[in-house]
Amino acid sequence: MAHPLIKYTLTKQGRQPEWLCNEAGAFKGQHGTPANKAGKLPRFGSPQDTIYLGMGCGDVDPDGTPDGYVGSITSKADLQTYLVEVGNAAGYKVTTATVVGVQTSVTTGGSDAWNPGEEYAGPGLTTTTTDKVTFSGVGTVATLTGSTVTRVVVVTDTPTGSTSETTDTAIVVDPASTATVTGTSDAVGIVTTTNEITGVTTVTTTTTTSTFTYPDITTSTSTSTSSTTTDGVTTRTDTVTTTETANYETTYDYAAEATRLWDLYEAVNA
């Protein structure tokens, strides 16, 4: 029995089709991609709006195909072409977490200095920080996007005058990263109330939302503690290691993935 390499969707009930291959080494659910074209009338409805790669159980019947069947791929070259098409649309990248910075801070002191009482007058803690050691990875650091409210301006107009209050909020990213604002948008809300005594009050609230990008770098810290006792005096040492990790992106290897899938297909059909 043949086990063709096919493109398929889930059933109308949202399940994997029963006619998929269950042989050892067979695959399904690979490289999902939207089934409908942007700006066109949808050909597929939910939950059949994603096309997957898998292996069928039996030859494709030229007189008709089962629900969920989209098409077949009959050569390794066609498989790679399809993967490139899907991957380019989805923005396939290989992401590798790489340590790009390490810094160590060592704090030392006697046990009394770590927990001084009100009458403690002895030596304090001593802290030594190393210069940060930096590294680089292969490829380019991934760029993330975000948005947040950065300013709210509330203007209150009354018959006796006008007041304004502005609240600014900074964009917060990891200390090792830097945000770059790419755009802003304002939303304005107006609320008017009437009081027989004070008259008409209008409150205008302008909310500014900023969009931004920033390198995908995260900072983590770890602390190790050790103690030594000499002549009855205990000295404690805390070592804090700060590590910066960046996600580097490199080009996706479509040829290697085509080889991997095709090798599985041939092994099942051997």
Confidence at residue 142, expressed as pLDDT on a 0 to 100 scale: 97
Residue 128, both tokens: 């030594």
Confidence at residue 33, expressed as pLDDT on a 0 to 100 scale: 96
Give yes or no for a contact between 204 and 154, defined as CB atoms under 8 angstroms apart.
yes
Provide the residue count of the chain. 270
For 7-33, how does the pLDDT look when each residue is reduced to its tens digit (9 = 90+)?
Answer: 999 999 999 999 999 999 999 999 999
Confidence at residue 59, expressed as pLDDT on a 0 to 100 scale: 87
Confidence at residue 120, expressed as pLDDT on a 0 to 100 scale: 86
pLDDT < 50 positions in the chain: none
Confidence at residue 265, expressed as pLDDT on a 0 to 100 scale: 96
In whole angstroms, what is the distance from residue 107 CA to residue 24 CA? 57
Confidence at residue 122, expressed as pLDDT on a 0 to 100 scale: 87
Closest CA to 35 of 52, 20, 18: 52
Predicted TM-score (pTM) of this structure: 0.76
Confidence at residue 1, expressed as pLDDT on a 0 to 100 scale: 63
Angle between helix axes 76-90 and 254-269 (nearest 10 degrees) is: 140
Give yes or no for a contact between 174 and 243, defined as CB atoms under 8 angstroms apart.
no
Confidence at residue 197, expressed as pLDDT on a 0 to 100 scale: 80
Residue 162, both tokens: 């006008």
Confidence at residue 105, expressed as pLDDT on a 0 to 100 scale: 98
Confidence at residue 239, expressed as pLDDT on a 0 to 100 scale: 98
